[in-house]
A and B are shown apart, each in its own frame.
Chain A
Amino acid sequence: MNETLFRRIKDLPSTHLLGTGVPTCAGCGGLQALHQIYDVLGEKTVFVNAAGCMTLLSVYPFTPFRGSWLYTAMAAAPAGAQGIRDALDIQLKKGQITTDDDLQAIVLTGDGAAYGMGMSATSSAIERGLDFVYICYDNEGYGNTGQQYSEATPHAARTSTSKGPQGYPGYKKDLFSIWAAHKPSYVATVIGAEPLDLARKIEKAKEKQGPRLILALSPCPTGWDYDPKESADVGHLAVRTGIWPLKEYEDGKVVHTKVPRKRLPVEEYLKRQGRFSHLFEPMRNEEILTGIQERVDAYWAEIEG
């Protein structure tokens, strides 16, 4: 699709579909992305959610959604989406609903479920060609339970289970490539701080069928340890330092949708967040900082060829 409704920022919706009054933290980058995504996906959607911060959105009898909501076990959201899709298909076939009444099954989970616990259910749902959109808001840890590290936690970040001078020893898993390796219909990374790029990708995803992933890096003031007002800055810096590449996969190809012209040093991003403060004080940890920069440089060197 070449035509987009979102050519300029002025084309973005100015009233919002998602209800206010939800209990996510002030300044939640996950909610910021979700409300932008929902504006484009629209209300003909059923959300299937695995345990995490966004579970708090729909706590009986409150909901910010205009449609239904199903809560599943943490590893099972794609299986829940399968059930919903099947039920809708049966109703369509029996003529109990018309195609106008049809709904999109949307999985909404955090990174803990998407990168780890839910991987098996996800992989097999893609393999079955399930017609669904998977939204992962990636706050790089088990946020709802106090930010323990997850398989999405970046190298050296402090979490409640990776303290000390080195932070988290592992490296963030590459979920984008894992999804792309399954050859689904669409995979995209987004971030709430780049709403135009986000809206265009959701618009695209909405038009397609089959398994689709929207992976949203979600600055998290609580888990990443910074003042809520800085969520937008932290988000911009994730993109401008090249740490969070904005890209999409379709028809077998990966395209970078926003290549930072002059990449800022990664420490501009890292030093804004308390979870990396041990890399700067009491003294700079050159080894780790250089290591992080080199990995980002190597990524872009390959892309820019």
Chain B
Amino acid sequence: MYRIRFHGRGGQGMKTASRILGTAFFLEGLEVQDAPRYGAECRGAPIFAYVRASRSPINERGIIRCPDLVIIADDSLVTVPAAGVLAGVTDQTFMLVSTSEKAVTWSHRLNFAGSILTLPTPVEITDRMELRFVGATCAGAAARLCGIITSATLEQAVREELTGLPSSVIERNLEKALEGYTLMAEHEGCIKEKAMLSAEQYEVPEWINLPFEKASISAPVIHSSLTSELMPTGLWRTMRPVIDREHCKKCWWICSTSCPDGAIDIDADNNPQIDYEHCKGCLTCVTVCPSHAIQAIPEHKNPTSEETGS
């Protein structure tokens, strides 16, 4: 069986990637499971999807705990524990990272003994809408790594999965899928079909047993408000808005009122302050500031991101 997990952010086409790959396996005659893991499947939020494919019936269920191949469409997720990118990864696992850095850099950074492959991405992404094609590139790359999917099958799978979308979108996805396929030529077939697990090998997941308790204990009434602030949605950000104090006219409201998340407050000196713990990096504030006083910089270029943890 092949076990493949795709990690990305909502809007990068991870669900589509898993479906394209699943359909391609299916067209090659394998049995397939492909599914996205639903959570907050919102733009920018970490999301994953997975594919199992096998020549015999698949009895495993649920999310893939020990993947043979982990594909990371957005390298900023690696350091986000909640994204679970490294869950179940061993030195037998292959990791394919979409990144502007080198594979060795990632091996050192993660202290990872398994194989790391990279899909090169430009350092500066000028048009974020391009990001949604990254899923197709990943699906194409995965197809090649497994070694049993032809480029014709890949093309058919892309067309089947995207039926009904504008032809320009389909062609762009196809181009990207074949690009991923071609890029992995020298690693063709490096992912080998692994044996199925038997029932004896079943490991109980590390879940927490919640005994059936009285409602007052198991679902206590919450008397505090604003608990959502405990969620660090700042981790969704790939681009960071930065206010240039020289140019800000303290117009007072525009950025603060327009920020969908209410992540900009005005301080006692009438200066807008961005709450980077929660700013999701939508860049609405950049668009609306009449003085063009807010710039967007890639998150990884931000010198303070590590110290603020956001």
Does B bind A? Answer: yes
CA A23 to CA B38, docked complex, whole Å: 13
Given contacts A27-B282, A56-B40, contact A22 B261 (CB under 8 A): yes
CB-based contact A20/B261 at 8 Å: yes
CB-based contact A61/B129 at 8 Å: no
CB proximity to B under 8 Å, residues A139-176: 158, 163-164
Give the interface size class of chain B. Answer: 35 or more
Given contacts A16-B262, A31-B261, contact A61 B222 (CB under 8 A): yes
CA A247 to CA B44, docked complex, whole Å: 34
Given contacts A14-B253, A23-B40, A36-B257, contact A63 B282 (CB under 8 A): no
In the complex, how many angstroms separate the beta carbon of B202 from the nearest chain A beta carbon? Answer: 31
In the complex, how many angstroms separate the beta carbon of A46 from the nearest chain B beta carbon? Answer: 12
- Among A85-93, A114-122, A274-282, the stretch that binds chain B is A274-282
CA A12 to CA B283, docked complex, whole Å: 21
CB-based contact A19/B229 at 8 Å: yes
CB-based contact A20/B287 at 8 Å: no
Indicate if A189 sits at the interface (CB-CB under 8 A).
Answer: no
Indicate if A65 sits at the interface (CB-CB under 8 A).
Answer: yes
* The 8 nearest A-B residue pairs measured at CB: A163-B164, A27-B282, A229-B283, A23-B40, A20-B278, A25-B43, A21-B231, A16-B262
* A: number of interface residues (CB 8 Å): 56
List 18 additional A-B contacts (Cβ < 8 Å) besides A27-B284, A222-B42.
Answer: A10-B253, A19-B226, A20-B233, A20-B275, A21-B228, A24-B42, A25-B44, A26-B282, A27-B280, A28-B260, A32-B284, A62-B231, A195-B257, A221-B43, A229-B283, A230-B287, A232-B284, A277-B168
Indicate if A227 sits at the interface (CB-CB under 8 A).
Answer: yes
Main secondary structure of the interface of A (DSSP, over half): loop
Chain A residues near B262 (CB-CB < 8 A): 16, 18-20, 35
CA A27 to CA B285, docked complex, whole Å: 10
Indicate if B225 sits at the interface (CB-CB under 8 A).
Answer: yes
Chain B residues near A195 (CB-CB < 8 A): 253, 257-258
Of A20, A65, A192, A282, most B-chain CB atoms within 10 Å: A20
Chain A residues near B265 (CB-CB < 8 A): 14-16
Main secondary structure of the interface of B (DSSP, over half): loop
Given contacts A27-B282, A164-B164, contact A14 B261 (CB under 8 A): no
CA A65 to CA B254, docked complex, whole Å: 23
Indicate if A102 sits at the interface (CB-CB under 8 A).
Answer: no
CB-based contact B257/A29 at 8 Å: no
CA A9 to CA B251, docked complex, whole Å: 9
Indicate if B23 sits at the interface (CB-CB under 8 A).
Answer: no
* A contact set with B: CB distance below 8 Å: 9-10, 12-16, 18-29, 31-32, 35-36, 43, 56-58, 60-67, 158, 163-164, 192-193, 195, 221-222, 226-233, 274, 277-278, 281-282
Given contacts A57-B228, A64-B228, contact A25 B263 (CB under 8 A): no
Chain B residues near A227 (CB-CB < 8 A): 127-129
Indicate if B58 sits at the interface (CB-CB under 8 A).
Answer: no
CB-based contact A12/B257 at 8 Å: yes
Given contacts A14-B253, A27-B43, A227-B128, contact A20 B263 (CB under 8 A): yes
Can you identify 14 A-B contacts, CB atoms within 8 angstroms?
A9-B253, A20-B278, A21-B228, A21-B231, A22-B228, A27-B260, A35-B262, A66-B225, A158-B166, A222-B11, A229-B282, A230-B287, A233-B287, A282-B168
